[in-house]
């Protein structure tokens, strides 16, 4: 497994991780805007009323 990092939404709505390399602070994109929107749609689709696990198969 990869290293665990804290992630944040930046001012553009992207999910980013922040770090420091010893000289500079940086921001690395984890999920861009299109990926964030796709995740939202998936969550909406599978969190609707009447949804059960058998519909996933």
Q: What is the pLDDT of residue 27?
A: 93
Which one has a higher pLDDT value, 53 or 48?
Answer: 48
Contacts of 10 (CB under 8 A, 6+ apart): 16, 27
Work out the average pLDDT over 30-52: 88
Distances (CA, A) of 34 to 23, 24, 28: 31, 28, 16
pLDDT digits (tens, 9 = 90+) for 8-38: 999 999 999 999 999 999 999 999 999 999 9
**Prediction pTM value:** 0.64
| DSSP type of residue 14 | -
- The Cα–Cα gap between 40 and 47 comes to 10
């Amino acid at each position: 497994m990869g290293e665990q990092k804290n992630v944040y939404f930046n001012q553009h709505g992207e999910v980013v991780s922040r770090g420091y390399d010893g000289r500079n602070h940086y921001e690395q994109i984890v999920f861009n805007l299109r990926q964030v929107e796709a995740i939202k749609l998936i969550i909406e689709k599978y969190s609707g009323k009447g949804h059960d696990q058998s519909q996933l198969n």
